[in-house]
Amino acid sequence: MTRNNTPTGEESASDSVRGDRRANREGPAGGRRRFLGALAGTGSVALAGCLDRALAPLDTADSESVGETTLTALDVGGSDGGTVEVLPRGRITLLDFWATWCTPCKPQMEELGTIREEFPDIHMVSITNESDEEAIRSFWRKYDGTWTVAMDPDAETNETFGVTRIPTLLVLDEAGKEVWRHTGLSSASDIAEAIESTR
């Protein structure tokens, strides 16, 4: 298993801190949000780029319950709305953890759009902890999202996958095993290489 948890410098660190400030303004939203908020609140750890070590990546056995998890998807752009499985069995999956206020998440959209065109058969979901549907829709239209975007306001999937910084990308194989992880802006070529490694 290859993991790349190196943040892309000050932008990624500042987004983590900014996310914590936003969470403080919104108030508590369940045990999972408080869990992540407590981690993000340790500023020295955040700046050191170590927050994404909170939980280990899933192996095939641990991920069985995740396949039963569904999130609310929005009907905008290439996203059909309704509910979406986080980790369907028998499909290569790309998960993108992001937010509308995240600076590197904006250029990441173009890279992910390239991946959607190159790998139309993979299961691809962008997950945000935000609950403002209009803000999410506006972002998705502005940056031409052509794949599923889903909301997880209680940060269940963040906790399950040990994601505490954004943007974070995960590639999982058809058995649900994590084969690649990257925190920070990632190129389409690197993402494509990770996907090809699962075939």
pLDDT of residue 64: 53
More confident residue, 11 or 52: 11
Q: Quick check: 62 pLDDT over 60?
A: no
Instruction: Please tell me the pTM assigned to this model.
Output: 0.71
- Count of domains observed in the chain: 1
Q: What is the mean pLDDT of residues 176-193?
A: 97
Cis ω on the peptide bond leading into residue 28 (within 30° of 0)? no
Q: Quick check: 45 pLDDT over 60?
A: no
Q: Can you spell out the DSSP letters for 24-66?
A: HHH---SHHHHHHHHHHT-HHHHHHT-GGGSSPPP-TTTTTGG
Q: What is the mean pLDDT of residues 160-168?
A: 95
pLDDT of residue 13: 39
- Between CA 2 and CA 179 the distance in angstroms is 6
pLDDT of residue 67: 54
Q: Quick check: 70 pLDDT over 80?
A: yes
Q: Give the CATH number of the domain where residue 109 resides.
A: 3.40.30.10
Domain that holds residue 176: 2-196
Lowest mean pLDDT among 17-31, 65-79, 80-94, 129-143: 17-31
Mean pLDDT score of the chain, rounded to an integer?
A: 77
pLDDT of residue 109: 98
**Cα–Cα distances in Å, from 137 out to 133, 143, 148, 155?**
6, 10, 12, 19
pLDDT of residue 69: 83
